[in-house]
Structure 1
């Protein structure tokens, strides 16, 4: 029998005894569960290394190596917005975040190769997912590709009519616009409008972007009014004329309602003469007697003549009952009407009559008797015309 020492068993610390009583080493078996855990750990480490390597490859590819780019032509639809001040790198980052291009560097390289790339205009564009960077750049370079809705607001509309147009031409209902109108500070209305947008939603053509809300649309109209007001020096001219800016806007709205073309400054002069002149001209006594104001007061629009009963209705806008200006503008004046209000023509006129509605021919006079003659001319015209 061979002899063993304790050192022979130090590896396991275990001994077993056979029938002969001699000690022998017992072999240890590996646990199946332990093998499985080891395999899982190794697999997880390998997966982590793979993902990290991939990210590293992407980073290096974007920064130093071959640039990742989609083969195109793309799929689906992505509404993409270029904000004012965006440079190529920012646009590239936004395009990659939106899934349009494969890498920021691909777009930067495309922009660097195109000298027109600095001319990308702010706005919204319809792109696709997984486009070639150069194809995305081509779309962004053409302003005709901007997604926008064009809405035209003609002169002479009231706020309620303007809202009707906007509801028809945009995706928002009347309640949304009315809510925006209830926040005059957000719209940028001047203090002297006293929270009322009547007359301050400027008539013009507006481009409405896909992200514009009712507040944005109405605020753009007020900004356009401010531009028109500044161009004619509204506040300064008002002071020179002895009027407030609010009064000038009311006068401009009346001129818009009553005048046409070259006659607008003359209509403005009639209004000033009636407001400020002596009260001995045919008994005007400061009464404007402008039917457009009366019509506004009773909520009637259009060019239909008012009846005797309608003219007698007692509202703050009845310029046959109350001297001076009505409380607010009665419609939206355009550039010409505002210009006429701050620079009326020189003349002695107190009366005017449009004697031909088709041509707009209007006659002016400071004689009440001549005014009656013009009025009869108008009535005779109406007998043979459907325009009245």
Structure 2
């Protein structure tokens, strides 16, 4: 395991920071209403790479790569540029760098910045690739002996979601209205969702386009980096609408992502293998090596104006299908992938109750209310609740963190 790499930015040299020199994640920010700039997190500072480019300090094969303040144009330059840029950042931010004096003038305190979406999301696909989650949900609504659909152990199941409703951490989420139907009711009603939920996920960002089918290794090479992802879900809307075509409005309210893209290079020391297969996968889905990551994850809920309770702790390494396998399967139909496509992993739940990544599982469909540290109970989310996802890969004296992925639930709009 690699050790903490020391930087001349003092706040990066602590085990507490999410953003040591080993990490260097990519984000987008503005200060006091200024234009959007691309930045790199280092300790409690942001290195303004848009300003570096404007000052002629970056050696890139194209001009105005960071002019829009997001990372799509940089991703499109390809993996060789990704690596050389990261090498440049690591060297110039390292302790003893001759570039310290120059780069210091382009640091912005993170506390002074407003973080925005770090890339423009071109398409969003959400998967259902966690075995424990799939088994729990199947057990809730079917016989546990037949909890998994017949195809589940053979194929990473997914659906095409809405890129337009992907938002950055800190954005409020409004409880949706929709059609609801009680099991014993003759007709549905149009009303606010009463069973609004979270889903603890990781998001993989496609940095290279594809035409035609790609292998698992090629898919892994296409992935630029990862974010935390909360795919907010209206369970009661979903229960009425999902037959026969699957989720629609139940998943369209919002998908919150963390503000920093953690690169695949930063996560490389934390590679992990998928679990043993219960049924052998078809050759095109078999992995040439470890494609998951050892990333500790947690979910916290804070009622309005009150302290938070940790609801769940789990790890990304429990997933049955990796992002590379999901991306490979996505291309089998000839579906082209584009720079900026976002793939949600599916809910990440572990084997024990305290490892479950949704309230649907934690409260067992509302039958087992959770008691918060404040003494209140929850089956599903209440207005004013703030959900925060956190994640970090743990190294020797350092961690590779993502920053908080948080959102506060606000009341549904009035129905005319």
TM above 0.5, one fold? no
**Greater Cα radius of gyration, structure 1 or 2:** 1
**Structure with a larger share of its residues in helix:** 1
Which has the larger share of strand?
2
TM-score by length of 1: 0.25
Higher relative contact order (CA closer than 8 Å, sequence separation 6+): 2
